[in-house]
Amino acid sequence: MRIAPVVLAATAVMAVPATAQAATSKPAASTGLAGSITPQGATLTGVVDPNGLNTAYLFEYGKTTKYGARTARTIAGNGVTKVAATGGVAGLQPATTYHYRILASNAKGVVRGADRTFKTPKQPLGFSVAVNPNPLSFGGPTTVGGTLGGTGNGNRQIQLQANPWPYTSGFAPVGNVQVTSATGTFAFPLLGQTINTQYRVATTGKDPVLSPVLTSEVGVAVTTTVKRSVRKGRTLRFSGRVRPARVGDQIGVQRLSGGDNWVTLKGSRTRAGTAEFARYATRVRIRRSGSYRVFVRVADGSLKSLPGSSVEIKARRR
């Protein structure tokens, strides 16, 4: 009969929940692998055991074991089992080795995991290019410029290539090979542009990297001579020159009719002038004051159709 209380006491001890017996202490943490690695980012992993106390974790990372950067602090809870930990990092440099480790902390202290490393891959080379100005007047200058990005973009040899209208002859080198700046920038100045032309930039050597194809549009150059005042209902003579010297291109005398809407009042065509320019002349009845201009249309696509400068004409009552 004296044994019964002992048995009951033992049974009572075994009925105590396991969580009530768990001793609280500093967390445990181990650094895991890095995944989803790109030239600029990665996902760091690890394992944290809170050991029964509210615990948080983060990752330290950098180019050396001094680290220097941290991920955001993340809550791991207060359980007594291991939980997976992750942290995303961004703004990294391509082709660079990074050190990292996990850091966990609770009321009992701080624990750091072992140091590990990963290496970001190279950033593929790629061009960002533009033509400026575009469009430009016939015979004027322009520049093909931009930036070569990616690993090894600085001090890299590049070549400008051109394919003039009608864009059937293919791309051919233009001028000399250039070298990008230390940051990958470049500029190819072009003088005396006389026809619409496709351009692209390519790295030299084996397996060249090509830029997107850009079209530089060369517009006709139009000059206009006309009186600025006329009696309402009378005609004015519009005349001038068009470069290049193309005979038979359509011209139209236009008037601004609200907003940016230009209405064609009368048409004509260019005629022979000199080796440098064609001529045009036509008379137009002026019924109201306003802005007028001469627009030249190039039908074959070799040049960009453009207007000349607008002029203000006053229609007098007397």
CATH number at residue 9: 2.60.40.10
Helices (H), the chain: 3-14, 18-21
- Higher local confidence (pLDDT), 23 or 236: 236
201, 219, 237: which is the final residue of a domain? Answer: 219
**Mean pLDDT along residues 95-100:** 97
Measured at the CA of 148, the angle between CA 144 and CA 153, to 5 degrees, comes to 140
69: three-class secondary structure by DSSP: strand
**Mean pLDDT along residues 89-104:** 97
Closest-CA residue to 29 (of 62, 55, 64, 3):
55
35-70: per-residue pLDDT in tens? 999 999 999 999 999 999 999 999 999 999 999 999
- Please check whether residues 96 and 25 belong to one and the same domain: yes
**Mean pLDDT along residues 19-35:** 82
Look up the domain containing 21 and give its range.
3-119
- Please check whether residues 184 and 136 belong to one and the same domain: yes
The percentage of residues in the chain with a pLDDT greater than 70, rounded to a whole number, is: 93
- Please check whether residues 156 and 133 belong to one and the same domain: yes
Closest-CA residue to 163 (of 218, 215, 220, 209):
215
Q: Is the pLDDT of residue 8 over 70?
A: no
Radius of gyration of the chain (CA): 38
The total number of structural domains that make up the chain: 3
Computed over every residue of the chain, the mean pLDDT equals 93
What is the distance between the terminal CA atoms of the chain, rounded to a whole angstrom? 138
Cβ atoms < 10 Å from Cβ of 146: 22
Q: Is the pLDDT of residue 13 over 60?
A: no
- Higher local confidence (pLDDT), 258 or 23: 258
Residue 22: its pLDDT value, please? 52
Q: How confident is the model at residue 6 (pLDDT cuts 50, 70, 90)?
A: very low
188-240: per-residue pLDDT in tens? 999 999 999 999 999 999 999 999 999 999 999 999 999 999 999 999 999 99
Q: Is the pLDDT of residue 274 over 90?
A: yes
- Please check whether residues 160 and 171 belong to one and the same domain: yes
- Please check whether residues 206 and 248 belong to one and the same domain: no
- Please check whether residues 130 and 115 belong to one and the same domain: no
166, 198, 219: which is the final residue of a domain? Answer: 219
**Mean pLDDT along residues 102-110:** 97
The percentage of residues in the chain with a pLDDT greater than 90, rounded to a whole number, is: 91
- Please check whether residues 171 and 235 belong to one and the same domain: no
Overall pTM surpassing 0.85 (yes/no): no
What is the rounded distance in angstroms from the CA atom of residue 259 to the CA atom of residue 282?
26
**Mean pLDDT along residues 153-163:** 98
What is the rounded distance in angstroms from the CA atom of residue 81 to the CA atom of residue 48?
8
Q: How confident is the model at residue 23 (pLDDT cuts 50, 70, 90)?
A: low
